[in-house]
Amino acid sequence: MPQISSPYAGERVALATRHGKQRVIGRSLRHGLGAELLHLPDIDTDALGSFCGTVERRGTALEAGIAKAELALEHGGTGLAIASEGSFGPHPALPLLAVGLEVMVFLDRERGLTIQEQLLTRRTNFAQRQLSLAAIDSESGRADLQRWLQAVGFPSHGLIVRPQAHNAGAAALHKGVHDWPTLLTAIRTAAAATPEPVVLLDTDMRAHCNPTRMASIRQLSFRLVRRIRSLCPACGAPGWGLERHQAGLPCAWCRTPTSLNQAEIFGCRQCGHEQRRPRHDGLEAADPGQCPSCNP
């Protein structure tokens, strides 16, 4: 292994996943920290919440990520663990656009550290549609379905098929559907499970069924590793990085504070040390069009 200057060189980091995340996360831990991944494939992290909705997730994505990492600590018998959690939905400002939020958490039991990073991405295939059984038996209905399937990246990206009625039972739920014959069978089985032959198609957001999501997890794992390697200038603890933005960029004409960010606050979770840095892009004043006083 190459010599890497890292507080975690040679150590083992536990990850509980059944969704293939060990490959991408293991690579960034190895290259960025010189640490080895301990993959725990037998822990059912879906018990903490699942994408198909059979188990409701409690709390935020970050809380779920921390809970998964704690589970890995407990079962892995290591002092270090990592976990990731995703949530998907409509963009808060532009509801027609889907966004994904990926959160990744690193726990260091000995130092009492929780280091986290997140990635908000518009690169997601997250989508849902209803489909009546009659539609797939008509030519136009099938053509319409084909267009949707192409848009969500099927068949490289998997689907979840289920009856629209909630009380239909688990037998009618099909996850990880990756080919046309299976899709047709799943649609017919799901439709047959309820009096009303309408099914729901959801994109399967589990990482191993979703190459777009796996790419986001890869990107985020490198971002998190970079942060773990950054040491606090005051106390030397790992995990120094951007904590939050500070609003109030002054208007270029009248200097009134606007809602735009004027600074980045870097911080350390260990000792509470903070540093204020100017905006990344060097912008020192806001366009008067954004000013509550010049352009109310």
Residues in contact with Zn ion by CB under 5 A are: 232, 234-235, 237, 251, 253-254, 256, 268, 270-271, 273, 288, 291, 293-294
Q: How many helices (H) and strands (E) does the chain have?
A: 6, 12
Nearest-10 crossing angle of helices 211-229, 21-33: 20
In whole angstroms, the minimum distance from the beta carbon of 280 to Zn ion comes to: 22
Of residues 106 and 126, the one with the C-beta less far from Zn ion: 106
In whole angstroms, the minimum distance from the beta carbon of 107 to Zn ion comes to: 17
Q: Which of 217, 285, 215 is nearest to 253 (CA)?
A: 285
Q: Give residue 229's identity as a one-letter amino acid code.
A: R
Of residues 101 and 113, the one with the C-beta less far from Zn ion: 113
In whole angstroms, the minimum distance from the beta carbon of 4 to Zn ion comes to: 22
Of residues 153 and 250, the one with the C-beta less far from Zn ion: 250
Of residues 176 and 288, the one with the C-beta less far from Zn ion: 288
- Show the tokens assigned to 121: 């991405």
Of residues 141 and 288, the one with the C-beta less far from Zn ion: 288
In whole angstroms, the minimum distance from the beta carbon of 295 to Zn ion comes to: 7
- Can you list the positions of beta strands (E) in the chain? 12-16, 36-40, 80-90, 98-108, 113-121, 128-132, 159-163, 174-177, 198-203, 241-247, 261-267, 274-278
Give Cα separations from 61 to 159, 228, 284 (angstroms). 22, 20, 34
Of residues 89 and 272, the one with the C-beta less far from Zn ion: 272
In whole angstroms, the minimum distance from the beta carbon of 208 to Zn ion comes to: 37
Number of C-beta neighbours around residue 191 at 10 A: 22
In whole angstroms, the minimum distance from the beta carbon of 293 to Zn ion comes to: 5
First-to-last alpha carbon distance for the chain, in angstroms, is: 59
